[in-house]
């Protein structure tokens, strides 16, 4: 990839260059001490002689990653840094890697292997960044359980704190922590780092960290001078970076001979490399949220992931370390929310320049300064991700966080994250199992199909409606929620009147195989009690699962409406009364609805009309001119939509009135009415009604009363259903 170029609309003006230079000077004072501290943290023991080479490689990689990220991110001028999270994890990996190498391995071989391992980590991290952004999967990381994420970062803080103290006390362990020699080293470092953290809120300044480090360094010189301890004695005791050698590119090339690289040792650490990549993604997304809050703007997460990925891929080619955006440094580089991308190039150049010109002075840097920097960052992480969440997380969630930190401190980060994920999954299962999977529970008396029957049949269905129990399900069905549902269905099945149970899956988002077995048990239990179990609105995957089991293969319906119609048909088939032996007519149905009215006189003023299957009685949008009464056959009200199949609203049979709302209000027809079969209707026109009002007001009043009864019944039913749904 070529170096990033500035487009015409992003030409850097002189004022912007001036701001970039000033910002870069400040940022250099913040970045360079961290570079040296991180290098000293990783390259210990025999590798401490290579700290100079490590910083040089880190700087070369930063030129590539910082420039790309700053120029090409959605916020041009976003400032990355070599981050603490991957640095802390690299410490674990490098220590295991060095320990795995043969004892006869030369220092150059150890150094070359470590550098290639770091470069491989940066490459894999960059590839993960880019892959998530390329396939727009950045938001998936936001679903990472918060307690696990917080535990991961708190564990990282512990590793940084521990690493910082071991920088000044290399032999620090549980066995040696209270020995006088160890106490003399780690206690001052911890005390100074804690004081620096506590004083941070009182002194809010971009120069706070450089100032604190300068004070600590000068204080160390003053204290040792007063005690009269010579530099040579302090250097020999490990209080200074005394064995740093000056490095140039020629020497670096000789040190990094690929023939010295132990590739098998690097491959053995691939699990750590993946953990570092995942941890970097989590930390980068958290940092991006911080940038959005600081700058009060929305960033393109996928674009930033791709940009960060490309920057890290390029950095890996020269042995660079993982890097991504820093909220604090980005705020420093955004005065008045101005985008200053040039700083991304200048900062690593300035850091390298200062480092190379003053490399000989590094041997006079007290290790205490570096230890305080690392311990300070570790304390900051522990405070933000271990102490602060105590007030916001539930006790169970906080218990998971503590468990992760405890496991990390004993067994390492990989084990800690694994334990955290297992605990988070168990907690989720426990909590989600308590969620009510039943959205609504109604009976057949409260909810009927859209196939409207005659008045007599409707009254019969109302009388036996309690035989049908309708459970509208919701959410994801797994073994926990399925067992809760199974217990509920068993309770319902103990009611003597229940004959049908309908499970509606319209709002179910998924179903696992264990849950499917619970439905097999459910069907078997109900079959023993002579209760029919029906399923509606199964998605294709769930439908295939149910079809594979003989006990659940039957009684599957595409919708709740069709399942209800099927049950209603069964209930009416078993109904044998004297009323059923009499023919159903329009007049008999209307007379059943309003026994006190003279329906015969009304019928004599209506006009009869015959229709064939497929004929339209009215079309959506028509001007209403007639009021219809169905005498025989069936008609369907359907909503006609552009570029889509019509939506069935209701199918009506003998005794139903059609078009009453438009007839009385004058509003255009809201749906079309089409004949399902050959049918007969009676109708009254508006002219007929006006004539009746003058010639026979009693008949006109009877018609109005009839319509009022029909509407009142519908409203009463709807109010009852709405009331039940709200409970």
Going by pLDDT thresholds of 50, 70 and 90, the confidence category of residue 305 is very high
325 contacts 69 by C-beta, under 8 angstroms: yes
**Residue 154 DSSP class:** H
| Overall average pLDDT of the 572-589 stretch | 64
In this structure, how many other beta carbons lie within 10 angstroms of the beta carbon of residue 102?
10
CA distance 367 to 39: 12
User: φ, ψ for residue 80 (rounded to 5)?
Assistant: -85, 175
* pLDDT digits 0-9 by tens, 338-383: 888 999 999 999 988 888 877 667 678 888 988 888 888 889 889 9
Query: By C-alpha distance, which of 320, 357, 330 is closest to 63?
Result: 320
Place of tokens 């004297």: 578
How does pLDDT run across 14-48, given as a tens digit for each residue?
Answer: 557 888 888 888 788 778 888 888 888 888 888 88
pLDDT one-digit tens code per residue, 117-159: 999 999 999 999 999 999 988 776 667 788 887 887 888 789 8
The arithmetic mean of pLDDT across residues 650-677, rounded, is 87
pLDDT on residue 578? 42
- Is the pLDDT assigned to residue 576 strictly greater than 60? no
pLDDT for res 2:
37
Q: What are the residues whose beta carbons fall under 8 Å from the beta carbon of 179, sequence distance 6 or more?
A: none
Exposed / middle / buried, residue 302 (Cβ in 10 Å: 0-12, 13-18, 19+): middle
- Give CA angle at 18 (12, 22), nearest 5°: 125
What's the confidence (pLDDT) of residue 583?
56
What sign results for the dihedral spanned by CA atoms 249, 252, 258, 259? positive
Pair of tokens at residue 229: 């301890």
469-499 per-residue burial string, b: 16 or more CB within 10 A, e: under 16: bbbbbbbebbbbbbbbbbebbeeebeeeebb
Say how far apart CA 293 and CA 553 lie, in whole Å. Answer: 54
What is the set of domains in the chain, with CATH numbers? 14-427 (no CATH), 438-580 (3.30.750.24), 586-726 (2.60.120.10)
DSSP per-residue string spanning 404-462: HHHHHHHH-HHHHHHHHHHHHHHHHHHHHHTS--EEEEEETTT---SEE--HHHHHHHH
Say if CB 343 and CB 333 are below 8 A apart: yes
Q: What are phi and psi of 670, to 5 degrees?
A: -90, -10
The pLDDT value given to residue 62: 94
**Residues 208-252: pLDDT tens digits?**
877 888 899 899 999 999 999 998 888 888 888 755 555 666 667
CB contact set of 713 (below 8 Å; sequence gap of 6+): 593
Query: Does residue 240 contact residue 364 with C-beta atoms inside 8 Å?
Result: yes
What backbone torsions phi and psi does residue 641 show, to the nearest 5 degrees?
A: -120, 150
Q: Phi, psi (5° rounding) for residue 145? A: -55, 130
């Amino acid at each position: 990839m070529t170096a990033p170029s500035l487009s015409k609309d992003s030409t850097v003006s002189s004022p912007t260059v001036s701001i970039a230079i000033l910002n870069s000077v400040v940022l250099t004072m913040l970045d360079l001490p961290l570079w040296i501290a991180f290098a000293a943290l990783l390259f210990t023991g025999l590798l401490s002689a290579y700290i100079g080479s490590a910083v040089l490689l880190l700087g070369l990689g930063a030129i590539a990653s910082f420039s790309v990220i700053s120029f090409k991110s959605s916020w041009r001028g976003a400032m990355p840094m070599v981050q603490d999270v991957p640095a802390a994890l690299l410490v674990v990996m490098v220590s295991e890697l060095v320990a795995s190498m043969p004892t006869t391995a030369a220092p150059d071989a150890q150094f070359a292997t470590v550098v290639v391992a770091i470069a491989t980590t940066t490459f894999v991290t960059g590839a993960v960044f880019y892959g998530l952004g390329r396939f727009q999967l950045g938001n998936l990381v936001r679903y990472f359980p918060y307690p696990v994420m917080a535990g991961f970062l708190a564990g990282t803080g512990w590793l940084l704190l521990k690493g910082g103290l071991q920088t000044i006390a290399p032999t620090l362990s549980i066995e040696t922590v209270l020995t006088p020699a160890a106490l003399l080293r780690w206690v001052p470092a911890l005390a100074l780092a804690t004081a620096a953290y506590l004083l941070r809120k009182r002194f809010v300044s971009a120069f706070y960290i450089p100032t604190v480090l300068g004070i600590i360094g000068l204080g160390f010189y003053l204290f040792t001078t007063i005690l009269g301890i010579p530099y040579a004695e302090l250097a020999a005791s490990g209080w200074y970076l005394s064995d740093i050698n000056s490095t140039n590119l020629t020497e670096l090339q000789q040190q990094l001979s690929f023939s010295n690289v132990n590739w098998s040792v690097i491959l053995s650490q691939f699990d750590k490399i993946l953990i570092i990549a995942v941890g970097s993604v989590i930390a980068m997304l958290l940092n991006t949220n911080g940038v959005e809050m600081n700058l009060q703007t929305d960033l393109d997460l996928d674009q930033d992931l791709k940009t960060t990925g490309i920057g890290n891929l390029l950095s890996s080619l020269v042995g660079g370390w993982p890097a991504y955006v820093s909220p604090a440094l980005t705020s420093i580089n955004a005065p008045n929310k101005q985008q200053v991308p040039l700083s991304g190039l200048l900062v690593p150049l300035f850091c390298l320049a200062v480092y190379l010109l003053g490399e000989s002075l590094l041997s006079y840097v007290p290790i205490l300064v570096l230890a305080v920097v690392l311990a300070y960052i570790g304390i900051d992480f522990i405070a933000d991700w271990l102490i602060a969440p105590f007030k916001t997380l539930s006790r169970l969630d906080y218990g998971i966080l503590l468990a992760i930190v405890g496991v990390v401190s004993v067994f390492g980060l990989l084990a800690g994250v694994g334990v955290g994920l297992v605990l988070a999954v168990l907690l989720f299962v426990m909590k989600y199992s308590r969620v009510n999977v039943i959205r609504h529970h109604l009976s057949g008396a409260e909810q009927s199909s859209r196939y409207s029957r005659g008045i007599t049949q409707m009254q019969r269905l109302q009388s036996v409606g309690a035989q049908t129990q309708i459970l509208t399900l919701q959410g994801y069905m797994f073994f926990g929620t399925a067992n809760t549902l199974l217990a509920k269905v068993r309770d319902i099945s103990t009611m003597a009147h229940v004959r049908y149970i309908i499970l509606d899956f319209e709002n179910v988002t998924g179903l696992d195989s264990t849950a499917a077995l619970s439905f097999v048990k459910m069907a078997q239990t109900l079959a023993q009690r002579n209760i029919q179990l029906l399923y509606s609105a199964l998605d294709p995957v769930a439908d295939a699962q149910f079809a594979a089991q003989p006990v659940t293969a039957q009684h599957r319906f595409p919708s709740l409406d069709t399942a209800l119609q099927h049950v209603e048909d069964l209930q009416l088939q078993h109904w044998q009364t004297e009323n059923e032996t009499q023919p159903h007519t329009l007049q008999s149905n209307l007379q059943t609805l309003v026994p006190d009215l003279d329906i015969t006189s009304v019928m004599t003023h209506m006009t009869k009309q015959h229709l064939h299957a497929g004929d339209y009685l009215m079309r959506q949008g028509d001007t209403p001119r007639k009021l219809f009464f169905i005498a025989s056959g069936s008609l369907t009200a359907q909503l006609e939509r552009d570029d889509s199949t019509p939506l069935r609203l209701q199918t009506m049979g003998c005794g139903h009135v059609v078009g009453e709302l438009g007839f009385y209000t004058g509003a255009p027809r809201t749906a079309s009415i089409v004949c399902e079969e050959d049918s007969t209707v009676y109708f009254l026109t508006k002219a007929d009604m006006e004539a009746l009002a003058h010639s026979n007001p009693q008949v006109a009043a009877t018609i109005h009363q009839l319509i009022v009864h029909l509407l009142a019944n519908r409203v009463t039913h709807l109010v009852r259903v709405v009331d039940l749904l709200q409970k």
